Structure 1
Amino acid sequence: MRRRSYNVMGLFISAVAVTTADSVRAQDVAMQIDEVVVTAQKREERLIDVPQSVSVMSPEDLQKLSATQFRDFANTVPGLNFTTSGPGSTQISMRGVTAGTDVNQTVAVYVDDIPYGSSTSFGRSGRYTPDGSLFDLERIEVLRGPQGTLYGASSMGGLLKYVSRAPGLDGFSGRILGSSSSTAHGSENYNVAGVLNVPLATDNAAVRVSGYYTRDGGYVDNPALGDADVNHAELHGVRADFMLTPSDELTVRLIAESQSISRDGTPEVDFTATAGGRPVLGSLRQSRQVTEPFDQDFRLVAGTVDYDFGSALLTSITSYQETRTENRFDISAEFVPLLAQVGLGTFNGVGLSDEPSTDKVTQEIRLTSQGLATVEWAFGAFYTREESDRESEMLVLDSARQPVPNIFYTLSAPSEYEEYALFGNITWRLTDNFDITGGLRYAHNRQSYTQFGSGIFIDSQPTVRSSEGVSTYLANARYHLNEYAMVYGRFATGYRPGGPNFVARDPATGSPLAPPTFDSDRLKSYEVGYKAETADGRFGVDIAAYYVDWVDIQVFDASSALGGLMNGDSASVRGGEATLTARPTSGLTLSANGSYSTARRSGIDTDGQYSAALIVDYAFLSVPAYTPFMGATVRHVSERGNAITTTTPQELPDYTTVDLRAGADIGDLRIQLFGRNIFDTRGRLSLVTSGGKPVFSILQPRTIGISLSADF
Structure 2
Amino acid sequence: MIATSLTPAAAQDAQDPPATEETNDVVVTALRRDTTVQTTPLAITALTGETLTNAGVTNITDYAKFVPSLRIQDNGPGQRRVSLRGVQASGEATVGTYYNDVPVTGSVGVSSDAAGRTADFTLFDVNRIEVLRGPQGTLYGASSMGGAIRVLFNKPSQEYEGEVEGQVQTTKGGGFGYFVNGMVNVPLVTDVLAARAVLYRRDSDGYVDNSFLGRKNVNDYTATGGRLMLRFTPTTNFSIDATAMFENTDAVSASWNPEVGDYKSAAQVILPYTDKSQFYSVNAEWDLGGVTLTSITGYQHRRSAYAADDSYYIGTYRTEARCASYVGTDACSADQLGSYYDYIDSLSPAAIYYPGSTTDFTQEVRLSSTGDSALDWTVGAFYQSRKNQVTSEDARADVTTGGIIMPEQIFYRRQISDRLKQVAVFGEGTFHVTPELGLTAGIRYYDYDKTVSGYTDIGWTLIGAPVRPLNTVDSSEDGTLLKFNASWQANRNMLFYATASQGFRPGGANQVIGLAADLTPYESDKLWNYEIGTKFGLLDRRLTLNLAAFQIDWDNMQVSGRTTNGAFSFLSNAGAARIRGLEAEAFIRPGGALQFTLSGNYLDAKLTEDQVNDSVVAAGRAGDRIPYIPHFSGSVGAEYHAPVSDAVDFFARADLNYVGSSYSEFRPTNVYRVKIDDYALANLRVGFELSESDTGIYLFVNNLFDSVAINRASMSSTPNSYSAVSAAPRTLGLNLRRHF
TM-score by length of 2: 0.86
The alpha carbon displacement at 1:446 in A equals: 1.6
The alpha carbon displacement at 1:105 in A equals: 1.4
The alpha carbon displacement at 1:111 in A equals: 0.5
Q: Distance in 2 between matches of 1:608 and 1:701?
A: 22
Q: Counterparts of 1:147-546 in structure 2 under 5 Å?
A: 147-152=136-141, 155-169=144-158, 171-264=159-252, 266-270=253-257, 279-338=258-317, 341=322, 342-343=325-326, 345-347=343-345, 348-396=348-396, 409-454=412-457, 455-456=459-460, 457-458=464-465, 459-460=468-469, 462-504=471-513, 515-534=519-538, 537-546=541-550
* 394 and 119 in structure 1: CA distance in 2 versus 1, 3 angstrom threshold: closer
> Which residue type is aligned with residue 685 of structure 2?
R
Q: Distance in 2 between matches of 1:132 and 1:407?
A: 32
Whether 1:98 and 2:88 are equivalent positions in the alignment is yes
Q: Counterparts of 1:523-602 in structure 2 under 5 Å?
A: 523-534=527-538, 537-558=541-562, 560-601=566-607, 602=621
Q: Distance in 2 between matches of 1:399 and 1:135?
A: 41
The alpha carbon displacement at 1:231 in A equals: 1.4
* 604 and 553 in structure 1: CA distance in 2 versus 1, 3 angstrom threshold: same
Structure 2 residue matching 1:60: 3-state secondary structure:
helix
Structure 2: runs of 5 or more not aligned: 10-15, 327-339, 608-620
The alpha carbon displacement at 1:412 in A equals: 1.0
Q: Which residue of 2 aligns with 1:51?
A: 41
Q: Distance in 2 between matches of 1:539 and 1:355?
A: 51
Cα offsets for 1:567-601 (capped at 9, x unmatched): 23111111111011111112101111111101221
Structure 2 residue matching 1:199: 3-state secondary structure:
strand
Structure 2 residue matching 1:139: 3-state secondary structure:
strand
Q: Which residue of 1 aligns with 2:732?
A: 704
> Which residue type is aligned with residue 524 of structure 2?
S
> Which of the residues 658, 661, 666 maps onto 1:636?
658
Cα offsets for 1:27-74 (capped at 9, x unmatched): xxx966543011222222111122211112212222222122222222
Structure 2 residue matching 1:193: 3-state secondary structure:
strand
* 369 and 535 in structure 1: CA distance in 2 versus 1, 3 angstrom threshold: farther
Q: Which residue of 2 aligns with 1:69?
A: 59
The alpha carbon displacement at 1:566 in A equals: 1.8
* 152 and 248 in structure 1: CA distance in 2 versus 1, 3 angstrom threshold: closer
Conserved 8 A contact 1:393-1:411: yes
Cα offsets for 1:594-635 (capped at 9, x unmatched): 111012213215496101111011112354531102121111
Q: Distance in 2 between matches of 1:694 and 1:45?
A: 48
* 51 and 346 in structure 1: CA distance in 2 versus 1, 3 angstrom threshold: same
Q: Distance in 2 between matches of 1:608 and 1:196?
A: 42
Q: Distance in 2 between matches of 1:194 and 1:520?
A: 43
Conserved 8 A contact 2:76-2:255: no
Q: Distance in 1 between matches of 2:103 and 2:630?
A: 32
Conserved 8 A contact 2:701-2:733: yes
Q: Which residue of 1 aligns with 2:617?
A: none
Q: Which residue of 1 aligns with 2:116?
A: 127
Cα offsets for 1:312-358 (capped at 9, x unmatched): 11100111110111111112222321365254632332311122311
Q: Distance in 2 between matches of 1:568 and 1:152?
A: 27
Q: Distance in 1 between matches of 2:250 and 2:310?
A: 21
Cα offsets for 1:89-114 (capped at 9, x unmatched): 21111111113xx2421111100210
* 498 and 145 in structure 1: CA distance in 2 versus 1, 3 angstrom threshold: same
> Which residue type is aligned with residue 497 of structure 1?
P
Conserved 8 A contact 1:346-1:398: no
The alpha carbon displacement at 1:202 in A equals: 2.9
Structure 1: runs of 5 or more not aligned: 6-20, 25-29, 271-278, 506-510
The alpha carbon displacement at 1:390 in A equals: 1.4
Conserved 8 A contact 2:303-2:356: yes
> Which residue type is aligned with residue 451 of structure 1?
G
Number of positions where the alignment pairs a residue of Structure 1 with one of Structure 2: 673
* 356 and 44 in structure 1: CA distance in 2 versus 1, 3 angstrom threshold: farther
Structure 1 residue matching 2:688: 3-state secondary structure:
strand
TM-align CA RMSD: 2.5
Q: Which residue of 1 aligns with 2:633?
A: 611
Identity between Structure 1 and Structure 2 (%):
30
Structure 2 residue matching 1:590: 3-state secondary structure:
strand
* 195 and 561 in structure 1: CA distance in 2 versus 1, 3 angstrom threshold: farther
Q: Which residue of 1 aligns with 2:6?
A: 2
Q: Distance in 1 between matches of 2:408 and 2:539?
A: 72
Q: Which residue of 2 aligns with 1:15?
A: none
Q: Distance in 2 between matches of 1:297 and 1:150?
A: 31
Deviates more, 1:551-560 or 1:623-632: 551-560
Q: Distance in 1 between matches of 2:350 and 2:213?
A: 14
The alpha carbon displacement at 1:565 in A equals: 1.5
Cα offsets for 1:514-541 (capped at 9, x unmatched): 8111111111111110112148542100
* 596 and 204 in structure 1: CA distance in 2 versus 1, 3 angstrom threshold: same
Q: Which residue of 2 aligns with 1:8?
A: none
Cα offsets for 1:126-181 (capped at 9, x unmatched): 12222212111001111111122223556211111101111112x10011100111
Cα offsets for 1:642-684 (capped at 9, x unmatched): 2449751321100011111111111200111111001100011
Q: Distance in 2 between matches of 1:250 and 1:549?
A: 43
Conserved 8 A contact 2:55-2:653: no
Conserved 8 A contact 1:514-1:566: no
Q: Distance in 2 between matches of 1:460 and 1:225?
A: 39
* 328 and 366 in structure 1: CA distance in 2 versus 1, 3 angstrom threshold: same
Structure 2 residue matching 1:35: 3-state secondary structure:
coil
Deviates more, 1:478-487 or 1:600-609: 600-609
* 477 and 35 in structure 1: CA distance in 2 versus 1, 3 angstrom threshold: same
The alpha carbon displacement at 1:640 in A equals: 1.1
> Which residue type is aligned with residue 440 of structure 2?
T
Deviates more, 1:676-685 or 1:455-464: 455-464
Conserved 8 A contact 1:292-1:327: yes
Conserved 8 A contact 2:432-2:439: yes
> Which residue type is aligned with residue 622 of structure 2?
G
Q: Which residue of 2 aligns with 1:651?
A: 675
The alpha carbon displacement at 1:448 in A equals: 1.3
Conserved 8 A contact 2:22-2:542: no
Q: Distance in 1 between matches of 2:106 and 2:77?
A: 18
> Which residue type is aligned with residue 497 of structure 2?
Y
TM-score by length of 1: 0.90
Structure 1 residue matching 2:676: 3-state secondary structure:
coil
Conserved 8 A contact 1:313-1:369: yes
* 2 and 407 in structure 1: CA distance in 2 versus 1, 3 angstrom threshold: closer
The alpha carbon displacement at 1:76 in A equals: 2.6
Q: Distance in 2 between matches of 1:267 and 1:398?
A: 20
Structure 1 residue matching 2:66: 3-state secondary structure:
coil
